[in-house]
């Protein structure tokens, strides 16, 4: 690693020497080492740049003239303001001492969006073209507002505070960036069942996802440990919350979805049935096989499915994503087989535990389909029931090797989240392992490749709460985000090639992304003048 940096510094010194002599500024050498690199994360799919520098005026503005898109909802304007806040966050902008050249002024950003439809949905066109041709205006063109939001994020990464002039600069002009995601599903799982996460923490996570162009928040809402969400038609369910205040009202959930959607992030809601659901019974004990054996949910009780139907009926009002997640993992049917009234029901229906598990999963899928949802299930449902699952199932891989291969071979869509690499709560997984995890491993047929709709990094909540979730997610989630966004041929074959760019991304004004100690000091030693 050290020799990589040393070579890099040596190369840069050669390149920069003429410029430095010309400008003759104390801070030039070290600044320029940063600024003369392409520091965009995730790496765009096409990129060209020059060597000129522009600076951003104090009244840098957004223009949407010429767009069919009217931005009546303010999605673009809000996105622009957020990005400008981030760009200006770290230092006081003050050009009063500068002698800035009017001919190098960047006045604003012109955005043209083709579609006035701003419905966010799975598969929405997220592409964009960003150009900074020279003085005057930068340009973003995009089919949808969500592509334009990605373009804004990329633009923000071209902007740097100049310590000499005290203004924001864009270096390496002219820029042309043409960009689109490799996978339509780029997810992050949060878990509010093992620890309650306050609303502002979830919003903060959503904001940080947008910096890395992740686009699905998989909200593992409830589990064995707690049921924090209000379900209006079953008002006792949130008696399973940890406490009176560790709860989300239905309006809170709607607010999270709305907040995410305005930022181009879909919310995938999960109820994990029948195995991870003991908390449901605090409000409705008949959902438990018995008070002493509380999960899986009682398969013999029609009320169980009535409640699932009720929950999905409420979900449909606020969770507008095409998919709902029904869990289905880690089911131990021991409680069914040892509880007398469930035993009797199994006997009457001529089922053993495994068959009842299948009965439950398929029945829950039908309920979801009846509400217009397609389904995501954890891989155990596929491993056990294969093509008995609805063809509208997406298999989420986490446990075994080769599941994605087998699932797409069987015609199912798949999301890759293999725990050995993409479980962020396993804090021993290093960023380069995360980066190297390839969703299409051993899948070569393009038709089958297309069934892998994407991947997801998971931040399970057993040992994570609002105080450290961001530090657990970042910067490693960014490594996965590049794997999921950038075309395969543009990805680094050796992660060490992107260390410096990831470090730059992690130490952006988005200070929450800054990994404790390590990155900062790697950068620090060789930058000391």
Residue 115: beta bridge partners? none
Choose between 94 and 420: whose C-beta lies nearer to a second copy: 94
Using the rule CB under 8 A, give the single segment among 22-30, 334-342, 368-376, 394-402 that binds a second copy: 22-30
Q: Are 210 and 227 a contacting pair, CB within 8 Å? A: no
Round to whole Å and give the CA distance between 126 and 150: 7
Those residues whose C-beta lies under 8 Å from the C-beta of residue 517, and which sit 6 or more positions away, are none
Residue 292 binds to a second copy (criterion: CB under 8 A):
no
Query: By CB neighbour count within 10 A (0-12 exposed, 13-18 middle, 19+ buried), where does 119 fall?
Result: exposed
**Integer Cα distance of 71 and 67 in angstroms:** 9
Q: Does 34 bind a second copy (CB under 8 A)?
A: yes
One residue of 252, 309, 358, 438 binding a second copy per CB under 8 A: 252
Cβ at position 193, least distance to a second copy in Å: 12
Is residue 330 part of the annotated active site? The answer reads: yes
> How many angstroms from the chain centroid is the CA of residue 116?
25
Residue 434 beta carbon to a second copy: minimum distance, rounded to whole angstroms: 18
Reading the block at residue 471, the tokens are 């530090």
| Measured distance CA(510)–CA(522) in Å, rounded | 19
The answer to whether residue 514 forms part of the interface with a second copy (CB under 8 A) is yes
Q: Is 286 a residue that touches a second copy (CB under 8 A)?
A: no
Size of the site for a second copy (CB under 8 A): 57
Which residue's CB is nearer to a second copy, number 343 or number 507?
507
318 binds a second copy (CB under 8 A): no
> Does the bond joining 373 to the residue before it have cis omega, within 30 degrees of 0?
no
Q: Does 528 bind a second copy (CB under 8 A)?
A: yes
Residue from 60, 219, 282, 412 touching a second copy (CB under 8 A): that is 282
CA–CA dist 396, 401 (Å, integer):
12
Report in angstroms how near the CB of residue 36 gets to a second copy at its nearest. Answer: 12
Show the CA angle centred on residue 23, arms to residues 19 and 27, nearest 5°. 95
- Report 461-480 residues binding a second copy (CB under 8 A): 463, 465-468, 470-471
- Residues, the chain, total? 529
Residue 6's nearest CA partner among 525, 529, 505 is 525
Interacting span for a second copy (CB under 8 A) from 120-128, 269-277, 445-453, 503-511? 503-511
Alpha helices in 182-301 (DSSP H): 199-211, 250-261
Q: Which of 26, 119, 330, 355 is catalytic?
A: 330
Active site residues: 330
- Which residues contact a second copy by CB under 8 A? 26-27, 30-31, 33-34, 89-92, 94, 161, 163, 166, 195-196, 198-201, 235-236, 239, 242-249, 251-252, 254-255, 282, 463, 465-468, 470-471, 507, 509, 511-512, 514-517, 520, 523-524, 527-529
């Amino acid at each position: 690693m050290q020799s990589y940096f040393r070579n890099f510094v040596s190369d840069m010194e050669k390149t920069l020497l003429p410029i430095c002599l010309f400008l003759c500024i104390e801070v030039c050498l070290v600044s320029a080492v940063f600024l003369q690199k392409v520091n965009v994360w995730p790496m765009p799919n096409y990129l060209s740049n020059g060597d000129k520098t522009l600076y951003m005026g104090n009244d840098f503005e957004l223009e949407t003239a010429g767009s069919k898109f009217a931005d009546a909802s303010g999605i673009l304007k809000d996105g622009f303001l957020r990005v400008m806040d981030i760009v200006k966050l770290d230092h006081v902008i003050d050009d009063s001492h500068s002698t800035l050249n009017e001919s190098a002024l960047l006045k604003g950003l012109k955005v043209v969006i083709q579609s006035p439809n701003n419905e966010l949905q799975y598969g929405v066109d997220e592409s964009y073209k960003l150009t900074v041709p020279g003085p005057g205006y930068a340009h973003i063109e995009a089919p949808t507002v969500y592509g334009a939001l990605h373009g804004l994020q990329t633009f923000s990464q071209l902007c740097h505070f100049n310590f000499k002039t005290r203004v924001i600069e864009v270096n390496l002009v002219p820029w042309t960036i043409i960009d689109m995601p490799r996978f339509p599903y780029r997810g992050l799982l949060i878990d509010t069942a093992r620890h309650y996460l306050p609303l502002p923490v979830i919003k903060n996570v959503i904001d940080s996802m947008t910096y890395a162009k992740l686009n699905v928040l998989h909200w593992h809402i409830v589990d064995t440990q707690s049921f924090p969400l209000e379900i209006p038609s079953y008002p006792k369910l949130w008696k399973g919350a940890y406490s009176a205040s560790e709860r989300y009202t239905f309006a809170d959930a709607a607010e999270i979805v709305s907040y995410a959607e305005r930022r181009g992030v879909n919310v995938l809601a999960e109820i994990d049935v029948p195995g991870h659901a003991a908390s449901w019974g605090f409000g409705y004990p008949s959902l438990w096989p018995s008070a002493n054996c509380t999960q899986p949910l009682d398969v013999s009780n029609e009320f169980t499915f009535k409640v699932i139907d009720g929950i999905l009926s409420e979900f449909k009002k606020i969770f507008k994503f095409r998919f709902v997640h029904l869990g289905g993992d880690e089911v131990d049917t021991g409680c069914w087989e040892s509880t007398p009234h469930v035993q009797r029901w199994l006997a009457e229906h001529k089922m053993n535990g495994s068959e009842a598990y299948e009965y439950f999963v398929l029945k829950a899928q039908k309920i979801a389909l009846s509400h217009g949802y397609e389904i995501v299930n954890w891989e155990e449902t596929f491993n056990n029931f294969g093509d008995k699952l609805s063809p509208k199932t997406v298999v989420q891989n986490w446990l075994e090797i080769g599941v994605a291969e087998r699932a797409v071979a069987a015609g199912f869509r798949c999301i890759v989240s293999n725990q050995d690499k993409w479980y962020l709560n396993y804090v021993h997984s290093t960023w380069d392992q995360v980066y190297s995890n390839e969703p299409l491993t051993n899948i070569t047929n393009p038709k089958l490749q297309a069934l892998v709709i994407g991947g997801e990094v998971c931040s399970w909540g057993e040992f994570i709460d609002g105080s450290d979730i961001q530090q657990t997610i970042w910067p490693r989630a960014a490594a996965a985000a590049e794997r999921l966004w950038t075309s395969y041929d543009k990805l680094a074959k050796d992660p060490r090639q992107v260390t410096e760019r990831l470090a730059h991304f992690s130490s952006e004004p988005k200070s929450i992304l800054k990994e404790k100690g390590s990155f900062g000091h790697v950068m620090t030693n060789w930058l000391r003048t």
